Structure 1
Amino acid sequence: MEKINRRNAMGILARWSAGSFIPFSWILKGCTYGSSISLFNKEYQALLGAIVEIILPETDESPGAKEANVQYFIALIVEDCYEVENKDRILVGLNQLLKDGFLDFSAQKKYEVIEQLDIEANSATQKIPHYFNALKSLTQWGYFSSKIGITQGLRYNPIPGYYKGCVPYNGEIAWYS
């Protein structure tokens, strides 16, 4: 063990005090990423809620994506995990929907707009990925990994039985275990 003398003590004290002079905001600057627009504001959440409810609507058998709070999942994934280019593409698309007054449309008109976006997103002439494909994928991922999606959207068996690979598919809802 090194003997502490006055010179070593002064060196340790200098290093400690130098650390206290570094502005904390410099450390946090590295945490800022991408656009300053947040998908967690009320207007975006209302828009995302309307979109996910059209993609995976409520039925007699199961609740819809909006009830599973998929809109918050989408906002979280896009803001925290998407690269700036993909995030900006989604924001531009959502902003266009807001500008067009999507939230004020009738239910039928909203459905028609989403149907048109789906056609555009899957057209052969699409050169860059369309933002609607990302929203659709995130909606499915968020819903079928949520508690509501697993326990009410799929048949749920917390303790599955054995596997029967030779049983033909009869169109029933898939199992999740």
Structure 2
Amino acid sequence: MNRREALKNIGLTIGYSSIAPSALSILQSCTSDVEKWTPVFFTEEESIVIKHLVDLILPKTEATPGALDVNVPEFIDLYASKAYNDEDKAEYKKGIESIIEALHIPESGAKHLNTEGYSTLLDKYLRATKAEERQFKAEKSIVYEALLNLRNQTVWAYQTSETVGEKVLAYDPIPASQKGCISVEEATGGNAWSL
């Protein structure tokens, strides 16, 4: 690693460490019983939509837990309610409402929308070609921006969860030695370090 990359990584670490304590406290306050979750920021309908989208963004696999397993929707809900100011909350709500509008939810509610409806929306906006992405940006598509934001929040919340940090990523609660110039595969089995 050259000096420039090292300084860049240090800057990223400092940026994450300044928000990490409040984010971690929010994550720890998330209930582990999804059935008992009562949204704080989202409406009931919005929470159903968020749960479905987050589950499709980071599904459970044989080797790793999914976003629902580590309470990502609950984290996003609490984070939005506690970390955003009124202006940001209004903007965020506008994005979520645009997603709901784009889903064309039936009158019976979001519970009755099948997975295909959610997948189609994610495919359209998050698997877009470069030309389509440019078009979404030129049109200032609220749905596109909201889904990008949701995906980024989902990945961030997932990576900062205790379960993923200790069981999926490389984790050493008391790092004892420094080994320079070794490959990531040799150091951690190819996994990124848990923060």
- Structure 1 length as normaliser, TM-score? 0.64
1:116 counterpart residue number = 124
2:194 counterpart residue number = 176
1:87 counterpart residue number = 89
C-alpha displacement at 1:153, in angstroms? 2.8
Q: Distance in 2 between matches of 1:76 and 1:132?
A: 18
Q: Distance in 2 between matches of 1:97 and 1:52?
A: 13
2:178 counterpart residue number = 163
2:115 counterpart residue number = 107
C-alpha displacement at 1:84, in angstroms? 4.0
Percent identity, aligned pairs only?
25
1:71 counterpart residue number = 73
SS of the residue corresponding to residue 90 of structure 2 reads helix
Q: 1:163 to 1:124 in 2, by over 3 A?
A: farther
The residue identity in structure 1 corresponding to 2:193 is W
Q: Distance in 1 between matches of 2:117 and 2:190?
A: 32
Aligned length: 140
The residue identity in structure 1 corresponding to 2:118 is K
RMSD between superposed Cα atoms in Å:
2.9
Q: 1:140 to 1:98 in 2, by over 3 A?
A: same
C-alpha displacement at 1:55, in angstroms? 1.5
Q: Distance in 1 between matches of 2:146 and 2:180?
A: 38
> Residues 61 and 152 of structure 1 are in contact (CA less than 8 Å); yes or no, is this contact kept in structure 2?
no
C-alpha displacement at 1:119, in angstroms? 4.4
Which structure shows the bigger proportion of residues in helix conformation? 2
C-alpha displacement at 1:143, in angstroms? 1.3
C-alpha displacement at 1:174, in angstroms? 1.7
C-alpha displacement at 1:62, in angstroms? 1.6
The answer on 1:133 being equivalent to 2:178 is no
Uncovered stretches (5+) of structure 2, i.e. residues with no partner: 1-39
Q: Distance in 1 between matches of 2:71 and 2:55?
A: 10
Computing the radius of gyration from Cα coordinates, the structure with the larger value is 1
> Residues 143 and 149 of structure 1 are in contact (CA less than 8 Å); yes or no, is this contact kept in structure 2?
yes
SS of the residue corresponding to residue 114 of structure 1 reads helix
Uncovered stretches (5+) of structure 1, i.e. residues with no partner: 1-37
C-alpha displacement at 1:45, in angstroms? 1.9
- Which residue of 149, 156, 162 corresponds with 1:147? 162
